[in-house]
Amino acid sequence: MTVTHPRPIITTGRLATRMSEQEQAQLKDLLKTWAPDATFVAEGKPLEVELGMGNGMALYERAKANPAMNFIGSEIYLNGLQTLLKALQKNPLPNVRVYPEDARTLFTSGLLQPESLARVLILFPDPWPKSSHHKRRIVQPELIESIKQHLQKNGELWVVSDWPSYAYHTIATLYPIKGLQLEQTVRKAADCKPSARLAEDGAPGGEAALGPQLLMQAPVWWQTTKYQEKAQIAGRNPWFIKAIKTS
Ligand SMILES: C[S@@+](CC[C@H](N)C(=O)[O-])C[C@H]1O[C@@H](n2cnc3c(N)ncnc32)[C@H](O)[C@@H]1O
C-alpha cells in the first residue's frame, strides 16, 4: 500500500520576482557556501533561528552585533535570500547560515538537536487576514510544539506582528502548549478567541481589548525589519509576543 503524505499548506504568496537564470545560478552557488551543517549547529554557541526572515538584513545586523551567538535564517523568497547573500559575500559573518527551504522543515530535517535553541523568531509572518485563510498562517499548534521541543530550557520564542488578529491568533495558539510560558500578556487563549473575531483586521474594538501596551516591548537586541518599516509607514505598529520554554 502506498502511503501519501498531505502536501504542506502554503504559508506565503510569492517565491521570486524578476530574477534571471544567471542570478538564480549565482544564488544557488552562494547558498551552498552559507548552508547550515551539523558542525555549525554543534559549535556550542547560543543558536537563534528565524523563520521567514525576508531580506535577512535584520538578522545580519543582529549577528554583526552579537558574534558570540550563531544565527540561522530561513526564507523561501529568492529575492530576499539574494539580498542577505550579497551582504554576506561583501562582508562575511562567520556566525550566519541560510536555510532556503520551507522554515517548517528545519524542525523535521534532523539538523537541529532537541533542546538546542536559545531563541526562535517569527517576525511579521504573512498575515492572511481573511478567516478562510487563517489555516495558511505559519503559527500553528504543530509548528509551535516542534519549536518548543527544539528550544533549550529558558529559550525564547518571539512572534511579532503588526496585525491585531494575528496577535490574538498567536496567543490563542501558544497559550495551551504545555511547557511554554507567555510573558507579560495576561490574556488567556479563551479570551483571545472571541476577541480575535472582534479584532478581525480593520474592525473596531480589537486593539482596545488587548493592545500592544499589554504585551512585550521590543527587546534590547531588536533590529528593525524591512516589513516593519513598511507597516509603520502604513500606520501599523508591532505587537511583540514572547514565550519562554519552561519544561
Ligand atoms: C511579511 S514577510 C516578513 C519578512 C521579514 N520577517 C520582515 O519582517 O521584513 C513574511 C516572510 O515570510 C516568508 N515565509 C512565509 N512562509 C514561509 C515558510 N513556510 N518558510 C520560509 N519562509 C516563509 C515569506 O516569503 C516572506 O518573506
The pLDDT tens digits for 76-124 are: 999 999 999 999 999 999 999 999 999 999 999 999 999 999 999 999 9
* Cβ 175 under 6 angstroms from ligand 1: no
* Cβ 124 under 6 angstroms from ligand 1: yes
Q: What is the rounded distance in angstroms from the CA atom of residue 138 to the CA atom of residue 123?
A: 11
Poorest-confidence range of 31-35, 68-72, 183-187?
A: 183-187
Atom of ligand 1 nearest to the CA of 103: 20
Q: What is the rounded distance in angstroms from the CA atom of residue 151 to the CA atom of residue 156?
A: 7
Q: Mean pLDDT over all residues of the chain?
A: 89
Q: Where on the phi/psi map is residue 48: left (φ > 0), alpha (ψ -120 to 50), or beta?
A: beta
Is 44's pLDDT higher than 80?
A: yes
Counting DSSP H helices and E strands in the chain, the numbers are: 10, 7
With pLDDT > 90 as the criterion, what percentage of the chain qualifies? 69
Nearest Cα residue to 110 out of 150, 152, 161: 150
Is 196's pLDDT higher than 70?
A: no
Average pLDDT over residues 68-79: 96
Task: Identify the H or E element spanning 74.
Answer: strand 70-74
* Cβ 164 under 6 angstroms from ligand 1: no
- The strand ranges marked E within 27-67 are 47-51
Q: What is the rounded distance in angstroms from the CA atom of residue 158 to the CA atom of residue 173?
A: 13
Strand partners, 163: none
174 and 246 in contact (C-beta within 8 Å)? no
Nearest Cα residue to 121 out of 206, 50, 43, 25: 50
* Model confidence, pTM: 0.92
Q: Which three cell numbers stand for residue 19?
A: 530574477
Atom of ligand 1 nearest to the CA of 102: 20
Provide the pLDDT for residue 24: 87
152 and 162 in contact (C-beta within 8 Å)? no
**Pocket-testing residue among 15, 49, 51, ligand 1, by greatest number of atoms within 8 A of Cβ:** 51
Beta-sheet pairing, 117-123 with 47-51: parallel
* Cβ 143 under 6 angstroms from ligand 1: no
Q: Could you tell me the pLDDT band of residue 192, with boundaries at 50, 70 and 90? A: low
Task: Identify the H or E element spanning 166.
Answer: helix 164-174
Poorest-confidence range of 31-45, 164-178, 224-238?
A: 164-178
Give catalytic status of residue 37 as yes or no.
no
For atom 12 of ligand 1, the residue with the nearest CA is 52
CA 123 to chain CA mean position, Å: 5
Q: Could you tell me the pLDDT band of residue 2, with boundaries at 50, 70 and 90? A: very low
* Cβ 121 under 6 angstroms from ligand 1: no
CA 11 to chain CA mean position, Å: 12
Q: Which three cell numbers stand for residue 199?
A: 479584532
Q: What is the rounded distance in angstroms from the CA atom of residue 146 to the CA atom of residue 123?
A: 18
CATH number, domain 21-245: 3.40.50.150
Is 3's pLDDT higher than 50?
A: no
Provide the pLDDT for residue 189: 63
200 and 220 in contact (C-beta within 8 Å)? no
Nearest Cα residue to 100 out of 125, 126, 76, 84: 76
Q: Could you tell me the pLDDT band of residue 1, with boundaries at 50, 70 and 90? A: very low
Is 206's pLDDT higher than 60?
A: no
Provide the pLDDT for residue 194: 47
